[in-house]
Structure 1
Amino acid sequence: MIIYGLTTCPICQKARKALDANRAGVQFRDVRSEPLNPEELAELIYEFGDKLVDRTSHDWRGLSDWLKHSEAEDQIAAQPKVMARPVIRNGDKLYLGWDEAVQATLLTD
């Protein structure tokens, strides 16, 4: 299992703590220090579409107007912090966020 997020993100920290307590071998990847490569980003965009961009964040609001109207890939490539998080890869399944449904699925597997 891999968690993609930011080490400073409180939601990512909660997800990481809960998953570490319930599973062995959970990896964490900070997308700011180790950005997604084009293939990884394309896979996430295919799975989640525009939901992958957090348009409520201060970082997104700080993007140039040109970037705000660009594709999600361009926005995340330019500013990884605008990626909605966490993204969790469990085998071949991907999950976005850390809501009750995701927790129920991943903490009971």
Structure 2
Amino acid sequence: MRVFALKSCDTCRKALKAMREAGMEPEVIDVRADGVGEADRAAILAAFGDAALNKASTTWRGLDDAEKAQPAAALLTAHPTLMKRPVIEKDGQWYLGWKADVQAAVIG
């Protein structure tokens, strides 16, 4: 299992804590420090499309209209912190966020 997260993200910390308490030890990819590989970015966009963009983020608010009009792939390449978090890959399935449905699917 892999978790794409930010160390400073409260939701990501909650998700990782819950996973570890359930006996899981996910591989954590910090999107700011480690970046997101091209293949992973493509898989995330294939799974979630524009929903993968966090349009409530400080990063998004700092973009001008021309930047906001770019395709999601270009935006995530230039600004990996624009990705909604956490993004979890478990057994070939992709999950976005940490709501009850994702918790049930990931932890059981």
Contact 2:55 2:82 in 1 (8 A): yes
Gaps of 5+ in 1: none
Provide the aligned C-alpha RMSD in A: 1.0
Q: Does residue 75 of structure 1 match 2:65? A: no
What is the total number of aligned residue pairs between the two structures? 108
Q: Does residue 60 of structure 1 match 2:60? A: yes
Runs of 4+ in 1 over 2 A off after TM superposition: none
For 2:23 and 2:66, how far apart are their aligned partners in 1?
Answer: 42
Q: TM-score under structure 2 normalisation?
A: 0.94
Alpha-carbon distance, 1:65 to partner: 2.1
Partner of residue 92, structure 2: 92
Alpha-carbon distance, 1:63 to partner: 1.4
Alpha-carbon distance, 1:24 to partner: 3.1
For 1:72 and 1:49, how far apart are their aligned partners in 2?
Answer: 8
